[in-house]
Amino acid sequence: MKSINSRIILTDPHGCHKTLIALIAKLPVGVPLTFAGDLIDRGPDSRKVIEFVKNGGHDCVLGNHEAMMLDELTFKPHRNKPGQEIVHINTYRGIWLPNGGENCLRSYLKDSTEQLESGEVAERRDHDIEALKEDMAWLRTLPYHILYEDVVNSKGQKLLVTHTTAAHVWGRCPPENLEFIESVTWERDSSPPEIEGIYNVFGHTPQYCGPTIKEQFACIDGGAYYNRTGYGKLFALQYPEMIIYEQENIE
C-alpha cells in the first residue's frame, strides 16, 4: 500500500525506451514518477523516451546529456530548399555527438520522398526538425533540482532529486547560480557528504552491480545502456519506502 507522500525516482534511461517501458510495468500504479535526467543519447530511442516523460507529465530534472544537446544542437537554412532547415552542430565544445548524440539524432529521422527533376521519386531520410525543436523547447523548461517538501522519511529527510549529487553546493550557492547548475549537472561523486534534513536521489555515474544506497543519499544509475558485466540495468527507487525496482536492458 503506497504512502500518500510516496514518489518513484528513475534516472539515466539514455534512450533505452523498451527497457524503460518494461520497468514501468513493474511499478505500482498511482505512485508519481520523477526522472533525474539523461533521458537521451547512447540507446536507440531517445525521442520515444522524451515523449514518454513529456506526454506523461512526469517531473524531470535536466541531465548533462540534455545540457550538451541544448548547447550544441542548432539549425540552419537548407541550402537548396528555401524555408526549410537542417540540423547543425555547434562543434565549439564537440562533446555531444561522440557521447551518444549521434544515436539521439538518429531517433529523429523520418522517411520521406523527393521528386527529382527527371520525374523519378527518391526515398530519403530527414530529421524531423519540428519534433526536435518541440522537444528541445520542453527540455529548456526543466529545472536542475526538485525538492519535495511533503515527501519525507521517518527521519524527517525531505526528498531532493538532482541529476548528480547536490551535496557540494546545496545551501552554499543559490539554485540559479552557475556553480550550482554546473555542480548538480556534472559532479562525479558517488559518496558525497550529508545534506542536513535532505535525502538526495540522483544518477549520472553508473554504479557497479546495483544502486548505492546510503543514509543520506542514493545513486541509482545502473548504466542501462552498458553491455558490460555489472551494468546494463535500469533502476527505480520508491521513496520513502526505499523499495528498489530493476529491469535488465532489452533493447
Residue 244 contacts residue 234 (beta carbons within 8 Å): no
Cβ neighbours for 110, distance < 8 A, ≥ 6 positions apart: 125, 126, 127, 128
In this predicted structure, the answer to whether residue 8 has a pLDDT above a threshold of 90 is: yes
**Closest CA relative to residue 46, chosen from 23, 80, 3, 12:** 12
Res 3: pLDDT: 46
Same domain, 79 and 197: no
Query: Can you give the residue range of the structural domain that contains 108?
Result: 69-129
Q: Looking at the structure, tell me whether residues 86 and 181 fall in a common domain.
A: no
Is 108 among the domain residues?
yes
Pair (87, 56) in one structural domain: no
Do 184 and 223 lie in one domain? The reply is yes
CA distance 212 to 69: 28
* pLDDT reported for residue 118: 54
Boundary (domain end) residue, out of 108, 129, 150: 129
CATH label of the domain that carries residue 230: 3.60.21.10
Q: How many structural domains comprise the chain? A: 2
- Backbone angle region of 102, left / alpha / beta, with phi > 0 → left and psi within -120 to 50 → alpha: alpha
Q: Give the domain-ending residue among 110, 129, 148.
A: 129
pLDDT of residue 152: 97
Asked if the structure places residue 1 within a domain, the reply is no
Amino acid 113: pLDDT: 46
Q: What's the pLDDT at 124?
A: 62
Helix, strand, or coil (residue 126)? strand
169 & 243 share domain = yes
- Is 134 domain-assigned? no
**Same domain for 119 and 166?**
no
**Do residues 118 and 144 both lie within one domain?**
no
Report if pTM > 0.85. yes
Q: Residue 94's pLDDT is what?
A: 85
Q: What are the angstrom distances between the C-alpha of 154 and each of 14, 32, 139, 198?
A: 33, 20, 34, 12
Same domain for 153 and 192?
A: yes
Question: Quick check: is 42 in a domain?
Answer: yes
The answer to whether residues 109 and 170 belong to one domain is: no
pLDDT tens digits, residue range 124-144?
678 999 999 999 999 999 999
- Looking at the fold, whether 154 and 42 belong to one and the same domain comes out as yes
Task: Express each pLDDT in 34-65 by its tens digit.
Answer: 999 999 999 999 999 999 999 999 999 999 99
Is 191 within a domain? Answer: yes
| Same structural domain, 103 and 171 | no
Q: Which of 77, 99, 129 is the endpoint of a domain?
A: 129
- Are residues 78 and 55 part of one domain? no
